[in-house]
């Protein structure tokens, strides 16, 4: 019994021990597996870390910098364009760009969560304020403020300071300090609005030149942007950053033009008047050049446009504009923006006889005054084709001087036949008609948009083509090419490259680069040039250009009238006049072209020459070119200053001077103003309008059309409207300095030019 009992006990103990051993073995096995898993995971982490560090390290580092750094572009200041006297014609003013981060325009509750309802109301308030301050569409602005797919949305560009101040006051009042960004920018301004618009051109909203010289010289004017790089935190707020970098922008260069703003204004004034009075279908242009240097003193096209609002064409009524298709509107805009002096070609008409005559003289095939060299019956028969003269009754026997004086077509057809096609084309080439002028070249800066002339191929020129070319028809050139050729005659026969820019200034360093004048070639001899000037003076003194006379100055010139080519639907007649003055030592050359004039008079001598005379009558004194006139065509008296005197006293003083007075109020009231102002030179019988503080209500009158009137008729017409007259010349009124239909104040002086009638 005992042994069995002990055996059982032993077995029990052994049984328990075996169980315990088995249990320990199971735990160790599980730990081993876990250890193996740990090792594998660790190895994977090491491999992943190695992959990230070695293989993707550079890329991830770059991505980190992108996320943790903020880079901001600093716009350079676009260079200023100046006229030759230092007036700023195109400037870049400081403005701002307003943008937002829509994800930050939110309202949070006390737990820091976004309150959707209040955020919606807040965004509506922000959109409303933006639309009112910046004059934007509210619905479109609200869509921008409500976006969730971006952190940067532009609200308004080129914002002036007054609007920024309103925004800043509103933000401060409403405790808004994030989500709305105000960044410095620049905006292109044109202080003189329409002045030289077709020449200067304009910029887009990004300050990149889109048209004219702004486009041609964009690379020179633009400069290079700068950059600031700094750190930002997770919510994109800037934080201190020791590696912050600043790259300063390189501002654009300033450019000084050869044009004089004062001369440009004079040219534009009379060009506009001529185009409106003669209802020129395609407008017109005028160029004024210094023949010695090739400098362009003025270059104007009509109609023009406001450079500060180039997409609005002021000369087209709004109701007509709305009827146009978008394509028609854009085409009209481009036509208006174009500088027709260089981008469009025209038939120069008889102004081109200067070239034909100069070629004949230089070749020794003619001379100025040998009589009876040419004969005109009013037409010329060329291989069975009848080509008429401007005077169909004929000029009879002529010298070359007579032929220019009367602008006789048959005489020049006869001369061109002597010269021949090959020789004539050689002179066309020498005068620059087969090349671009490159007038705006100041470096590698793109095309200036100059049109190419259109001539027959030399081998295709027959007798009829040769005949019509001799007097400037059935081929096309640019006005700039024509005035350059005329200037060569005025410059002792030397052709100069036209120049529109004088210098470039680096605004960062102050360094100045001068654009030198460039002599192209000697086209004809000085003797030929002098002979041409002498004959062209005869044209103005006693020929078809007599309406271009300016008292006290010697003028040489040539009229031009080209007929429309009715086989070409785009062709219009052209009236033009080229002038050189003073003849003894030429300082300026003017070319005026009027496209598609309407009315009874359409010749260059009738409608273009008087306008050139008006331009010269103001430009020559302005330039300080002395007049040789010692007398006056009318006796004038300077108006006394009667301000601060009683009406009774003022009337007594002015009537003693021979003037009539218009005044309202009591005799003892004090004169506060007068029109015309004191010092104005007036003829006897002129009207003075007096004002007092209680009666200072200005009265306007409409200027009548005086053209074709005698002096007495013009005086009466103006006197009936309480307007005054100043005049030069005798005969009929050929021009007036204030266009008919213009509203002016009573007492205003209208300057008129009178000329004896001439035959075209």
**Binning pLDDT at 50, 70 and 90, where does residue 234 land?**
very low
168 and 88, same domain (yes or no) = yes
- Residue 228 phi/psi, 5-degree rounding, is -120, 130
The tens digit of pLDDT for each residue in 495-507 reads 999 999 999 999 8
Average pLDDT over residues 202-231: 83
Query: Confidence band (pLDDT; 50, 70, 90) for 202?
Result: very high
Token pair in block for residue 537: 């003076």
pLDDT tops 60 at residue 243: no
Average pLDDT over residues 387-395: 93
Asked if 222 and 119 sit in the same domain, the reply is yes
Give the largest Cα separation in the chain, rounded: 177
pLDDT band at 712 (very low <50, low <70, confident <90, very high): confident
Q: Residue 12's pLDDT is what?
A: 38
Dihedral sign computed on CA atoms, order 677, 678, 683, 684: positive
Task: Look at the chain and report how many structural domains it folds into.
Answer: 3
Is residue 126 in some structural domain?
A: yes
Comparison of pLDDT for 76 and 476, the residue scoring more:
476
What is residue 71's predicted lDDT score, i.e. its pLDDT?
A: 59
Instruction: Identify the CATH number of the domain in which residue 670 sits.
Output: 3.30.10.20
pLDDT at residue 569, rounded to an integer: 65
Of 233, 257, 281, the last residue of a domain is 257
Do 48 and 113 lie in one domain? The reply is: no
Report the distance separating Cα 109 and Cα 123, nearest Å: 16
State yes or no: pLDDT of 539 exceeds 50: yes
Distance CA 586, CA 581 (A): 5
Residue 593 resides in a domain: no
Q: Are residues 131 and 50 in the same domain?
A: no
384 burial level (CB within 10 Å; 0-12, 13-18, 19+)? exposed
Note whether 35 and 122 are same-domain residues. Answer: no
pLDDT > 50? residue 18: no
* CATH classification at residue 244: 3.90.1310.10
Asked if residues 419 and 365 have their Cβ atoms less than 8 Å apart, the reply is: yes
**Residues 236, 187: one domain?**
yes
What's the average model confidence in pLDDT over 359-383? 96
Q: What element of type H or E holds 266?
A: helix 261-277
Min mean pLDDT across 173-177, 416-420, 494-498, 621-625 is at 173-177
Strand positions, DSSP E, 508-587: 512-514, 519-522, 556-562, 574-581
Residue 179, domain member (yes or no)? yes
Residue 5: which pLDDT band, with cuts at 50, 70 and 90?
very low
Residue 602 domain flag = no
* pLDDT exceeds cutoff 80 at 49: no
Q: Which of 214, 242, 257 is the last residue of a domain?
A: 257
Q: For the residues 313-324, what does the mean pLDDT come to?
A: 92
The region of weakest confidence among 368-382, 410-424, 447-461, 522-536 is 447-461
**51 lies in which domain range?**
2-55
Give the confidence band of 396 by pLDDT, cuts at 50, 70, 90. Answer: very high
3 state SS of 72: strand
* pLDDT value of residue 386: 95
Q: What percent of the chain has pLDDT over 90?
A: 57
- Band of pLDDT at residue 107, cut at 50, 70 and 90: confident
DSSP type of residue 548: G
In a domain, 172, yes or no: yes
Average model confidence (pLDDT) for the chain? 86
Do residue 182 and residue 219 come from a single domain? yes
Share of the chain above pLDDT 70, in %: 87
Same domain for 150 and 48:
no
Looking at per-residue confidence, does 26 or 546 come out higher?
546
Q: What pLDDT was estimated at residue 29?
A: 67
For residue 555, pLDDT beyond 70 = yes
Q: DSSP states of 685-742 as a string? A: T-EEEEEETTS----EEEPP--TT--HHHHHHHHHTTT-EEEEEESSEEEEESS-TT-
Q: Are residues 656 and 736 in the same domain?
A: yes
Instruction: Tell me whether residue 34 is in a domain.
Output: yes
pLDDT of residue 528: 97
Work out the average pLDDT over 45-62. 67
| Rounded-to-integer distance, Cα 310 and Cα 300, Å | 16
Q: What pLDDT does residue 532 have?
A: 97
Is residue 545 in a domain?
no
Q: Is the pLDDT of residue 231 over 60?
A: no
3 state SS of 557: strand
CA nearest neighbour of 105 among 191, 158, 171: 171
How large is the average pLDDT for residues 584-611?
Answer: 94
User: Which residues are CB-contacts of 447 (< 8 A; sequence separation ≥ 6)?
Assistant: 216
| Shared domain check, 115 and 38 | no
pLDDT digits (tens, 9 = 90+) for 320-358: 999 999 999 999 999 999 999 999 999 999 999 999 999
Q: Domain check: are 80 and 31 in the same one?
A: no
Weakest mean pLDDT among 177-181, 293-297, 587-591, 655-659: 177-181
Query: What are the CA-CA distances from residue 360 to residues 289, 374, 376, 528 (Å)?
Result: 25, 13, 18, 9
The residue out of 257, 280, 314 marking a domain boundary is 257
Contact 193, 311 (CB under 8 A): no
Question: Strands 681-682 and 637-638: what pairing?
Answer: antiparallel
Residues 51, 131: one domain?
A: no
Mean pLDDT for 212-241 is 70
Q: What is the pLDDT of residue 3?
A: 42
Interval 562-582 mean pLDDT = 83
Exposure of 125 by Cβ count < 10 A (0-12 exposed, 13-18 middle, 19+ buried)?
A: middle
- pLDDT given for residue 675 in this prediction: 93
pLDDT band, residue 591 (cuts 50/70/90): very high
pLDDT at 235: 45
Residue 760: inside a domain: no
Question: Tokens 């919606």 sit at which residue?
Answer: 120
Is residue 56 very low, low, confident or very high in pLDDT (cuts 50, 70, 90)?
A: low
pLDDT of residue 7: 41
């Amino acid at each position: 019994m005992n042994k069995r009992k002990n055996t059982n006990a032993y077995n029990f103990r052994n049984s328990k021990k075996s169980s315990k051993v088995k249990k320990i073995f199971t735990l160790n096995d599980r730990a081993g597996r876990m250890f193996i898993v740990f090792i594998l995971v660790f190895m994977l982490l090491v491999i992943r870390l190695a992959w990230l560090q070695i293989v993707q390290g550079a890329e991830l580092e770059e991505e980190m910098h992108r996320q943790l750094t903020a880079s901001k572009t600093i716009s350079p200041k676009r260079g200023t364009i100046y006229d030759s006297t230092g007036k700023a014609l195109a400037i870049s003013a400081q403005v701002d760009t307003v943008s937002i981060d829509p994800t930050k325009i939110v309202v949070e509750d006390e737990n820091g969560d976004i309150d959707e309802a209040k955020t919606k109301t807040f965004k509506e308030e922000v959109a409303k304020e933006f639309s009112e301050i910046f004059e934007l569409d509210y619905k479109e602005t609200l869509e921008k403020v409500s976006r969730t797919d971006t952190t940067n949305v532009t609200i308004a560009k080129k914002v002036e300071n007054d609007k920024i101040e309103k925004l800043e006051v509103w933000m401060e009042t409403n405790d808004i300090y994030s989500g709305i960004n105000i960044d410095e920018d620049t905006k292109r301004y044109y202080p003189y609005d329409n002045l030289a618009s077709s020449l200067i051109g304009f910029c887009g909203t990004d300050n990149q030149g889109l048209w004219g010289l702004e486009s041609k010289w964009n690379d020179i004017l633009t400069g290079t942007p700068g950059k600031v790089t700094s750190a930002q935190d997770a919510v994109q707020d800037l934080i201190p950053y020791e590696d912050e970098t600043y790259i300063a922008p390189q501002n654009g260069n300033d450019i000084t033009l050869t044009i004089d703003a004062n001369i440009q204004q004079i040219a534009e004034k009379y060009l506009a008047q001529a185009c409106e009075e003669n209802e020129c279908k395609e407008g017109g242009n005028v160029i004024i050049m210094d023949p010695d240097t090739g400098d362009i003193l003025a270059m104007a096209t009509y109609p023009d446009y406001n450079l500060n609002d180039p997409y609005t064409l002021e000369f087209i009524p709004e109701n007509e504009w709305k009827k146009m298709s978008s394509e028609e509107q854009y085409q009209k805009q481009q036509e208006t923006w174009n500088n027709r002096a260089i981008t469009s070609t025209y038939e120069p008409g008889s102004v081109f006889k200067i070239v034909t005559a100069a070629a004949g003289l230089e070749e020794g095939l003619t001379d100025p005054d040998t009589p009876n060299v040419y004969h005109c019956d009013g037409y010329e028969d060329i291989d069975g084709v009848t080509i008429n003269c401007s005077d169909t009754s004929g000029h009879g026997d002529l010298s070359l001087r007579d032929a220019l004086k009367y602008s006789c077509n048959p005489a020049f057809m006869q001369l061109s036949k002597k010269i021949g096609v090959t020789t004539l084309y050689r002179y066309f080439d020498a005068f620059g008609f087969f090349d671009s002028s490159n007038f705006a070249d100041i470096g590698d800066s793109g095309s200036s948009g100059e049109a190419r002339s259109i001539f027959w191929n030399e081998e295709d020129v027959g007798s009829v083509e040769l005949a019509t070319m001799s007097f400037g028809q059935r081929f096309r050139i640019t006005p700039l090419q024509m005035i350059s050729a005329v200037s060569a005659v005025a410059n002792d026969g030397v052709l100069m490259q036209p120049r529109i820019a004088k210098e470039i200034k680096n605004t960062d360093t102050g360094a100045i680069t001068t654009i030198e004048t460039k002599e192209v070639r000697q086209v004809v001899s000085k003797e030929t040039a002098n002979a041409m000037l002498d004959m062209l003076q005869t044209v103005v003194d006693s020929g078809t250009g007599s309406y271009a006379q300016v008292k006290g100055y010697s003028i040489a010139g040539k009229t031009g009238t080209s007929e429309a080519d009715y086989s070409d639907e785009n062709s219009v007649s052209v009236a033009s006049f080229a002038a050189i003055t003073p003849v003894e030592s030429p300082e300026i050359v003017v070319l005026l072209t009027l496209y598609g004039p309407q009315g009874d008079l359409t010749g260059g001598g009738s409608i273009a020459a008087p306008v050139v005379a008006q331009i010269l009558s103001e430009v020559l004194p302005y330039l300080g070119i002395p007049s040789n006139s010692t007398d006056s065509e009318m006796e004038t008296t300077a108006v006394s200053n009667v301000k601060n005197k009683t009406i009774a006293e003022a009337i007594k003083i002015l009537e003693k001077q021979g003037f009539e007075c218009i005044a309202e109020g009591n005799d003892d009231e004090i004169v506060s103003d007068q029109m015309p102002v004191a010092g104005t030179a007036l003829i006897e019988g002129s009207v003075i309008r007096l004002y007092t503080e209680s009666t200072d209500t200005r009265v306007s009158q409409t200027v009548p059309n005086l053209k074709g009137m005698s002096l007495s008729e013009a005086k009466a017409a103006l006197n009936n409207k309480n307007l005054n007259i100043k005049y030069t010349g005798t005969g009929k009124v050929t021009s007036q300095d204030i266009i008919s239909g213009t509203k002016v104040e009573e007492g205003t002086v209208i300057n008129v030019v009178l000329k004896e009638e001439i035959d075209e």
